[in-house]
Homo-oligomer: A and B are copies of this chain.
Amino acid sequence: MIELPPLTAAPNQAELLVTHEAIHPFVHRTPVMTNTSIDERTGARLFFKCENFQRIGAFKMRGGASAALRFTPEQRQRGLATHSSGNHAQAVAKAAQVLGVPAYIVMPHDAPRVKVAAVEGYGATVTYCNNTPRERQATLDEVVGRTGAAFIHPFDDYGVIAGQATAAMELIEDVDKVLDLIVTPVGGGGLLAGTALAARYFSVRAEVIGAEPAAVDDAHRSFRSGRIEENETNVTVADGLRTNLGERTFPIIRDYVKEILLVEEDEIIAAMRLIWERMKIIVEPSCAVPLAVVLRYPDVFAGRRVGIILTGGNVDVDRLPF
């Protein structure tokens, strides 16, 4: 097991390379898929990095592993902790399972039963709380105080950012550095920041674009205003993208991302359906936001070679948005 040093600033090129080596026991090398009919529809040449095939069904495994390895073995022995009702919860639980240490996950009472079952399936201990930021934090503080477990933030953590960067590193490696653009969704910004760093260090010329639901356009507004903006609502089908940017993710995004483009809810659902029907793969709504952006802004993407990080496939097939 490669131990990683803590990061107190945005990771540099060497730190990303060693991160990619270190997380190897925790992650799959996911394939890059192409699709002729979607290419024809968009006028672009698209390369889909399929993190829906990643362990736990989402790219979050990368950041969780990268962050977990930055604690000392003594720290880790007391366990890993986080609050999340989404893919990050599964990532921390799975990382702890691979490391053979306890995991403590704080989840809201109303979290989908299937998500709770997945986290418990990896051997984690779930503590329930009411679904407000204040209660979530208080419950986490209590759990960490009691267990001494090491907290892993879902995105605002340089270790997490370094881990998320490895998806784009593999994409860039696999498609021979021909990419003009790489598009990722943006919620808290861990993936977008990591991708921006990966492109800066490893791509010949790829620029990075964030894709965000117009209904929760905080990142778009932050990018324009130069400070972290908040959402007034969190109502979007792209349930992984409701969060605001963080203090660590925002400056990286501000400095190294080219643009953040917005799409409407119906465009997200149509793009999700297009991926299901044409690519025959299962992606969650948040995952479809980049393709929705490519479809909406042909002036930006037509005629270009575009990498898209397909972020995850954890969707309840009994409750589809189409």
Residues of A within 8 A of B (CB): 31, 33, 52-53, 57, 273, 276-277, 279-283, 313, 317-318, 320, 322
Contact = CB atoms under 8 A, between A and B. Distances in A.
Contact of A280 (B273, B281, B318): B281
A279 B313 CA distance: 9
A254 to B, nearest CB: 33
Copies of this subunit: 2
Contacts of A283: 280
Q: Which of A273, A282, A318, A320 has the most CB of B within 10 A?
A: A282
Contact of A276 (B277, B279, B282, B322): B282
A66 to B, nearest CB: 21
A318 B317 CA distance: 11
Given A31-B31, A318-B322, A322-B318, A313 B280 contact: yes
Contacts of A320: 317
A317 B244 CA distance: 32
A273 B114 CA distance: 14
A276 B273 CA distance: 15
A292 B131 CA distance: 39
Nearest to A55: B36
A237 B5 CA distance: 54
A277 B317 contact: yes
Nearest to A36: B55
Given A273-B317, A317-B273, A280 B282 contact: yes
Contacts of A322: 317-318
20 contacts: A31-B31, A33-B53, A52-B280, A53-B279, A53-B280, A57-B280, A273-B317, A276-B282, A276-B317, A277-B317, A280-B281, A280-B282, A280-B283, A280-B313, A281-B281, A281-B282, A282-B282, A317-B320, A317-B322, A318-B322
A276 B314 CA distance: 10
Contacts of A53: 33, 279-280
Nearest to A31: B31
